[in-house]
Amino acid sequence: VEASIPEPQREAWLKHQVSGFKDKDGFESEVVRHVETTLARSMFNCDESAAYSACSLAFRDRLILEWNRTQQRQTFVDSKRLYYLSLEFLMGRALDNAMLNIGQKDVAKAGLADLGFRIEDVIEQEHDAALGNGGLGRLAACFLDSLASLNYPAWGYGLRYRYGIFKQEIIDGYQVEVPDYWLDFNPWEFPRHDVTVDIQFFGIVRKSTNENGRTVSHWEGGEIVKAVAYDVPIPGYATPSTNNLRLWSSTAASGEFDFQKFNNGDYESSVAEQQRAETISAVLYPNDNLERGKELRLKQQYFWVAASLYDIVRRFKKSKRPWREFPDQVAIQLNDTHPTLAVVELQRILLDLEGLEWDEAWSIVTNTFGYTNHTVLPEALEKWSVPLIQHLLPRHLQIIYEINLYFLQSVERKFPDDRELLGRVSIIEESQPKMVRMAHLAIVGSHKVNGVAELHSDLIKTTIFKDFVTIFGPDKFTNVTNGITPRRWLHQANPRLSELISSKTGGKDFLTDLNELNKVELHVNDKAFRKEWAAIKLANKERLAKHIKTSAGVTVDPTALFDVQVKRIHEYKRQQLNIFGVIHRYLTLKAMSPEERKEQQPRVSIFGGKAAPGYWMAKQIIHLINSVGKVVNNDEDIGDLLKVVFLEDYNVSKAEIIIPASDISEHISTAGTEASGTSNMKFVLNGGLIIGTCDGANIEITREIGENNIFLFGNLAEDVEDLRHAHTYGSHEIDPDLNRVFQEIEKGTFGSTQDFAALISAVRDHGDYYLVSDDFHSYVETQALVDEAYRNQEEWITKCITSVARMGFFSSDRCINEYAEGIWNIEPLRVEKEEGA
């Protein structure tokens, strides 16, 4: 049925066209209206939380109008669109971001003040949208910001988890997980109860022959779960473009089936069915860089992928174009292997539902998809057992086998008689049970595969995907170094620094062209500029010091060197190396005379990050950090020379406070294990320096800012394999300083020695897989260089300013433009800029 209003009646619509608030007065009027009608409150019971809700609704109204216009524009132009499929979108707070991107924060600030509120307090009311674990999810969020800001026609597709990443509490030094129920009141989403897709699971495959004598497959029976769309508007910066993030929520399909049960008095079981369906989108799996092969996770993946593809195909079919034009209209990016079933699902749609021949369908599929790899860690590479897929998705398993058959046949034609090669590249691993290797499927099903930093992209070509380079040639594999959005990670998190920089770059243009930052370098010797720079850093540190006091109860001196390591807790990220280094520092200070101590650089070691609930070792690391803090922070010999703080519940909004306050941050993964890292970029952009290994994006950061401005240490990726081999087969001498640290822990200086025994024996007795001992000496020496450099504040500030000025490359705008040109083949839409923004 045509839902469009007929021409004669459109005049009435145009006359009443809504426009959203235009100025302070309009804003206030919208806030009051929302308080009084939408929220059914009044000035007599409007608290900060109600003010937040009403303010957000006023902004949401504006966004949705722009969203509508953007979608109309995109539909009208009908150019190629990008669809970014990610199981994680770590968005953080939306209000501050919306105000800044629309360019109406000043208006809101004045308006809220008129109504009796401080804008900072109102912003603070918002619960983070925490639908992600760490870097991978936050990268997806930065990409959405850049796609909208650059006016690309693009949608994100994800899952609307009822529970995001858990909230972390620290109780007696241990991590405790608390569920993150965030949907109580979420003004940023629009439920689309009319946009639903029925998703099938289980069942059987029946074959029949059609009139052309072709075998046709019918996937029948099983159960149906309904996907409901929730749309989140994504505002671009300084542009009216507002893109869409569509999140799917699961619910029971309302068929006759339940109805019958209901009538038969089987009320409980129909409710149980509802709950079972809702389980699919209930919770984000809290593992970063780890896949555990759980059935519900596979269900999530198929549910989300099938709903998204149905939506994408439905949109394409409206254009009435022939199927072969699909890849000219649609690019789909796979954020890691999590959405790889999309490759199979699209082939199934084209083959079984649209009646295309295999080859034509497969060429459409492979020209549509691109795959981004984010990790080489073996425990993170997805494999699903064949019996599980057979059970859940019987037709998909058949298609996977067929894809594999044709692929292996083509390999055999090219490389006859290399049976080992076939075994290595096969999508099916011949294990017990057999497993589907999702990365192999993603490579075979995509036209481009990329890594996320140069070293990482080189590593995948020479290690885990080596054989595929031989088969497909090197051009299929490429690098797109990650980036971050300067809107959130500079302008929003560090408004004073953003303001100072804009005073030297001729306005706020640097936020849309981050290379403009290089103009700042001309002012590196400008006295007033340097003074303001230092004052901003100190103010940011004072703010963090306050937060440390209220959240961890530790008093820290804001003039001390702030040393920060905040990221997921993982052995490969080596928080254990950091805390062993802290203990070494403590022992060194203890051994000094009071006079000697006076010469030392005071330091605050700040840690933060969640451990996956099932990751026992990571939890031991958290416990050790807290135990060390308890001793060191209360040692009168030490005083302000060393404080150790663990900040609980590290998330996006806390990062916005922590990152601008850092002097030095730690990115110290075992070389070759951190694909990129993105917080390294955020810290440097905010005028902090880095201590790090030659890993991930640290290498390109060094190339951009210069090696005098970074503290690199440790073994190189190319030497890791030999070192590990030597640990296992030769004798393994532990660094003597590290041994002293171990002895101190074992003496019980930091409490219960049993708890920490595993951390020590991982290094001493179990092969030190992450090379903690190998890098310890170099790490401690380099930290001493940091102290020394910090003592010369003038030189330190010069390093900081120079580094910031050279960070333009790491904007996610640059990164998205590279994807758009090299992988997606999409163009920005021309959009008239608004005044004011």
Residues that bind ligand TH1 (CB under 6 A): 133-136, 139, 287-289, 336, 374-375, 380, 452, 482, 674-678, 696
Q: Minimum distance from CB of 334 to ligand TH1 (Å)? A: 12
Q: Minimum distance from CB of 129 to ligand TH1 (Å)? A: 17
256-263 vs 267-279: helix axis angle to the nearest 10? 150
Q: Minimum distance from CB of 820 to ligand TH1 (Å)? A: 18
* Residues 790, 416: Cα–Cα separation, whole Å: 62
Q: Minimum distance from CB of 827 to ligand TH1 (Å)? A: 25
**Is 392 in a helix, a strand, or coil?**
helix
Q: Minimum distance from CB of 470 to ligand TH1 (Å)? A: 25
Q: How many residues does the structure list for the chain?
A: 837
User: Given the complex with ligand TH1, which of 136 and 645 has the nearer CB atom?
Assistant: 136
* Residues 90, 80: Cα–Cα separation, whole Å: 26
User: Given the complex with ligand TH1, which of 291 and 737 has the nearer CB atom?
Assistant: 291
HSE toward the beta carbon, residue 667, CA cutoff 13 A: 33
The one-letter amino acid code at 584 reads H
User: Given the complex with ligand TH1, which of 62 and 374 has the nearer CB atom?
Assistant: 374
* Residues 229, 661: Cα–Cα separation, whole Å: 39
Residue carrying structure tokens 């292996």: 408
For residue 538, the Cα-to-chain-centroid distance in whole angstroms is 29
* Residues 666, 577: Cα–Cα separation, whole Å: 10
423-460: buried (b, 16+ CB within 10 Å) or exposed (e) per residue? eebbbbbeeeeebbbbbbbbbbbbbbbbbbbbbbbebb
User: Given the complex with ligand TH1, which of 498 and 651 has the nearer CB atom?
Assistant: 651
Q: Of these residues, 456, 682, 727, 806, which one is catalytic? A: 682
User: Given the complex with ligand TH1, which of 426 and 698 has the nearer CB atom?
Assistant: 698
User: Given the complex with ligand TH1, which of 290 and 712 has the nearer CB atom?
Assistant: 290
The one-letter amino acid code at 488 reads R
Residue carrying structure tokens 């469009």: 4
Q: Of these residues, 338, 541, 567, 570, which one is catalytic? A: 567
First to last CA, the chain: 39
Q: Minimum distance from CB of 605 to ligand TH1 (Å)? A: 23
Q: For residue 796, what are its two tokens?
A: 């330190």
297 has catalytic annotation: no
Any residues with CB less than 8 A from the CB of 79 and at least 6 apart, and which? Answer: 153, 826, 827, 829
* Residues 99, 296: Cα–Cα separation, whole Å: 38
User: Given the complex with ligand TH1, which of 137 and 327 has the nearer CB atom?
Assistant: 137
* Residues 306, 396: Cα–Cα separation, whole Å: 12
**Distance set, CA 31 to CA 69, 184, 194, 240, 325 (Å):** 23, 20, 28, 22, 47
Contact in structure between 544 and 564 (CB atoms under 8 Å): no
Q: Of these residues, 138, 299, 568, 570, which one is catalytic? A: 568
678 has catalytic annotation: yes
User: Given the complex with ligand TH1, which of 196 and 481 has the nearer CB atom?
Assistant: 481
Any residues with CB less than 8 A from the CB of 546 and at least 6 apart, and which? Answer: none
User: Given the complex with ligand TH1, which of 297 and 496 has the nearer CB atom?
Assistant: 297
* Residues 285, 307: Cα–Cα separation, whole Å: 20
User: Given the complex with ligand TH1, which of 486 and 677 has the nearer CB atom?
Assistant: 677
Q: Minimum distance from CB of 696 to ligand TH1 (Å)? A: 6
* Residues 116, 392: Cα–Cα separation, whole Å: 56
Q: Minimum distance from CB of 83 to ligand TH1 (Å)? A: 19
Q: Is residue 603 within a helix (H) or strand (E), and if so which, with residue range?
A: strand 603-608
Q: Minimum distance from CB of 679 to ligand TH1 (Å)? A: 8
Q: Among 215, 217, 206, which Cα is nearest to 399's?
A: 217
Q: Which residue is nearest to ligand TH1 (CB)?
A: 135
> What's the maximum distance between 2 C-alpha atoms anywhere in the chain?
95
Q: Of these residues, 505, 678, 693, 782, which one is catalytic? A: 678
Q: What angle do CA 129, 135, 141 make, to 5 degrees?
A: 45
Any residues with CB less than 8 A from the CB of 596 and at least 6 apart, and which? Answer: none
461 has catalytic annotation: no
Contact in structure between 336 and 305 (CB atoms under 8 Å): no
Q: Minimum distance from CB of 291 to ligand TH1 (Å)? A: 7
Contact in structure between 162 and 283 (CB atoms under 8 Å): yes
User: Given the complex with ligand TH1, which of 28 and 288 has the nearer CB atom?
Assistant: 288
* Residues 295, 278: Cα–Cα separation, whole Å: 15
Contact in structure between 192 and 230 (CB atoms under 8 Å): yes
Q: Of these residues, 448, 491, 573, 574, which one is catalytic? A: 573
546 has catalytic annotation: no
Q: Minimum distance from CB of 245 to ligand TH1 (Å)? A: 18
User: Given the complex with ligand TH1, which of 662 and 678 has the nearer CB atom?
Assistant: 678
Q: Minimum distance from CB of 382 to ligand TH1 (Å)? A: 8
Q: Of these residues, 374, 437, 488, 806, which one is catalytic? A: 374
Query: Looking at the DSSP assignment, which residues form a beta bridge with residue 223?
Result: 201
374 has catalytic annotation: yes
**Distance set, CA 365 to CA 79, 179, 327, 417 (Å):** 19, 39, 8, 29
Query: Which residues form the catalytic set?
Result: 374, 567-568, 573, 678, 682
